[in-house]
Amino acid sequence: MVSKSQIKFIKNLQQKKYRTENKLFVVEGIKTVKELVNAKVKPYAIYTTSNAVLEDNAFKCELISETDLKKISALKTPNNILAVFYQPKTKEIIEDNWLVAVDDVRDPGNLGTIIRLCDWFGVANLFCSKQTVDCYNPKTIQATMGSLARVNIVYGDLEAFLKQTNLPVYGAFMDGKNVYKEDFTAQSGVLVMGNEANGVSKTVEELITKKISIPQFGNKTTESLNVATATAILLNEIRRG
């Protein structure tokens, strides 16, 4: 049984404001819940309508009715599990390796894919400009899987951050230098990726020290690559050296 005040509390967590205030976030579906528990993200409360999940004993959870699940779920057709997790604590960024910075990435799926790529390529820190979509958006979490727990994600003033860093600042641009010709033997740097529609903003562009681009082999069209696939290619280029 979920109390009225709990229902209200959990429903509120669908909004970024309440997630940030309470340092919590909501996840639905057994696969992602398991991933996060395995990645040692601390649960606040886990609710399920499934006896099988309860008896599986993989984590502590509370059996509730389908009616109650419907009340707390953000989904039209709720999965049989909903979990509230504590947001992992952010750590100070230590600039001894590569890090990725995103300048107003708005699509939650793209941000989720970028977090997963950071994890894959051993990028421990991700800096997000203030206007970037919330990394605790349900669609972001679905795309990140357990990676969310393994990448330190810091939101803040991207310009201020780039002004103070001693690292070389690389940015992806259509007219940048061919990335295949760039020397990535340096052990550290910042890779800035821009917004889906507008790319890197003018004020941030002024702080980029190296503009790079991915060569286009097909018909020359004006379309660019999606920001998540471009991040995949550039991180691969950086790590392959």
State the amino acid at position 210 in one-letter form: K
Member of 93, 119, 172, 193 binding a second copy (CB under 8 A): 119
CB of residue 157 vs a second copy: minimum separation in angstroms? Answer: 27
Closest CA to 13 of 27, 1, 2: 27
Member of 145, 148, 158, 208 binding a second copy (CB under 8 A): 145
* DSSP structural state of residue 150: T
> Residue 155 class from Cβ within 10 Å (0-12 exposed, 13-18 middle, 19+ buried)?
middle
Calculated CA dihedral for residues 30, 54, 13, 89, nearest 10 degrees: -80
CB of residue 223 vs a second copy: minimum separation in angstroms? Answer: 6
For residue 225, state whether it binds a second copy (rule: CB under 8 A). Answer: yes
Task: Characterize the bridge pairing of strands 98-102 and 125-129.
Answer: parallel
Region near a second copy per CB under 8 A, out of 10-18, 49-57, 167-175, 231-239: 231-239
Contact 74, 84 (CB under 8 A): no
Letters for 52-91 (x = contact with a second copy by CB under 8 A, - = none) are ----------------------------------------
Q: Site residues (CB under 8 A) for a second copy? A: 35, 109, 113, 116-123, 143, 145-147, 150, 180, 214-219, 221, 223, 225-226, 228-230, 232-233, 236-237, 239-240
